[in-house]
Each structure stands twice: as C-alpha cells, then as structure tokens.
Structure 1
Amino acid sequence: MRSGQLRQYQITVQSPPGGQDDDGNPRTEWWTVCRPHAKKEDLSGRELFAAQAAQSEVTTRFRIRYRTGLSSKMRLLCDGVIYNIEAVLDRDGRKRELQLMCSSGLNNG
C-alpha cells in the first residue's frame, strides 16, 4: 500500500479494561494501544428498529500498515465514532497491510 493512501485518517486503537496499570491498580477504562494512519472505506449500512427505537449499523474497513498485537477484542476511534473491530485480516499474508473489519452504531465498545 502506498503511504499517501494512509493519510486519510489517524485512528486510535484501544484495548478493553483488564489487567493493571503502571501503578498496579486494576484498569477500568479502555486504553490506547496505537494511533496509526489509515484509509477508511464504508462497505455497507442498514437501519432497523430495536427496543422501540430506530438504530443504524455501518460496516467499515480500515486499512493500516501491518503491526502485531491487534485483535477483535479491541475497538477503534475515528472522528469521534467508536468502531468495534470484528476481524483483523492480513489478506495476502505478506505482513504489509492489515484490514480491520469494523462495525459501528449498535454497540459502541
């Protein structure tokens, strides 16, 4: 992937509460893992009624440079929107690019 394509957004990848902070206290908030540059592509969207309220869900793909340690237990933030990471894909297996398949709207982390 060309570096110019990744200038679209800077995202924040967060890990769920768990473990301990630097002082040995249990974590209670999501904490930042990394802040890579990414390309964002909205793939699909839908609206539905749940619990007597209209809600929407959007499926989005974020492309970033390859890095280890990311999983579907994490979430990411982009322009104030919380995205749940559904899958982390290295499509060609060459460790050059990761595709983060995400959803937003129904469950924000």
Structure 2
Amino acid sequence: MRSGKMRRVIQVQRVASEVNDAGTPQEVWTDHLRLRAELVERTASEFINAQGAGDKALTVFRIRYVENVTNSDRVVFGGQTFNIKEISEIDHMRSLELRCEKIGAD
C-alpha cells in the first residue's frame, strides 16, 4: 500500500464502560486509534454484487494492518460516524479494508 494514497485521517472508537454521577454504569464511545486511511471509491454495482441489493450508504476505508480493530468498533471521519460492518485483510497482513455504514443514513 502506498502511503501517498492515505490522505485522510480517521478515528477508530471503542465502547467503554464508566460510572456516571448517579453511580450507574453507562457505555460511552472513547477514542481508540487515530489512523491514516485511503477513502476507497466504489461504484453502486460493486456494492450490489458484493453485499447484495440494498439502499444502504456504504463507505470503505483502507488502512495499514493493525490487529486490534473489530466489528464492534466504529469510525469517525469528516464529522460523520460509521459502523464497521466488515473487515477484510489485504495482502496477508499488509492492510485492512473497513467496510462501513454511515450511522443515520436512510
């Protein structure tokens, strides 16, 4: 993967548990990793073939390989939040593709 293509910066967030002022545990999103990423442009037909027909807004981020990113994490990019739907390894641990769905997308 060429570093020149990774022009974007994304934040990977993870759920953590903390206790609020009333003493009740609650889940909050905390920053986990800050990474450089390539925003991969895909055509609608590629998503239809790969994911099945649907109207969901999907975004793909390509990052260097890291071990501790999971489907339970989420990505923040450009003021928008994305759930990670699928993680694909590319070139045997060289990079990862994070296939994400925008939260709040209709």
Does residue 104 (structure 1) correspond to residue 99 (structure 2)? The answer is no
Q: Which amino acid aligns with 1:81?
A: Q
Q: Is the 1:39–1:64 contact (alpha carbons within 8 Å) kept by the matching residues of 2?
A: yes
Q: Is the 1:82–1:104 contact (alpha carbons within 8 Å) kept by the matching residues of 2?
A: yes
Query: Could you say if the C-alpha distance between residues 3 and 15 of structure 1 is closer, same or farther in structure 2, counting changes exceeding 3 Å?
Result: same
Does residue 31 (structure 1) correspond to residue 30 (structure 2)? The answer is yes
Q: Which amino acid aligns with 1:6?
A: M
Identity of aligned residues (%): 30
Q: How many residues are aligned here?
A: 91
Query: Could you say if the C-alpha distance between residues 27 and 3 of structure 1 is closer, same or farther in structure 2, counting changes exceeding 3 Å?
Result: farther
- Per-residue deviation, residues 62-101 of structure 1 (Å, max 9, x unmatched): 0000001110001000000101000111033x21101101
Q: Is the 1:42–1:59 contact (alpha carbons within 8 Å) kept by the matching residues of 2?
A: no
**Cα separation, 1, equivalents of 2:4 and 2:90:** 20
- Per-residue deviation, residues 6-47 of structure 1 (Å, max 9, x unmatched): 12x1000001233x69xxx956310111000001124367xx
Q: In the alignment, which residue of structure 2 is the partner of 1:62? A: 61
Q: In the alignment, which residue of structure 1 is the partner of 2:50? A: none
RMSD of the TM alignment (CA)?
2.3
Q: Is the 1:88–1:99 contact (alpha carbons within 8 Å) kept by the matching residues of 2?
A: yes
Name stretches of at least 5 consecutive residues in structure 1 with no aligned partner.
Answer: 46-55
Q: Is the 2:37–2:61 contact (alpha carbons within 8 Å) kept by the matching residues of 1?
A: yes
Q: Is the 1:90–1:98 contact (alpha carbons within 8 Å) kept by the matching residues of 2?
A: yes
Q: Is the 1:13–1:33 contact (alpha carbons within 8 Å) kept by the matching residues of 2?
A: yes
Q: Is the 2:83–2:103 contact (alpha carbons within 8 Å) kept by the matching residues of 1?
A: no
Q: Is the 1:44–1:58 contact (alpha carbons within 8 Å) kept by the matching residues of 2?
A: no
Superposition TM-score, scaled by structure 2 size: 0.73
Q: Which amino acid aligns with 1:96?
A: R
Q: Which amino acid aligns with 1:57?
A: K
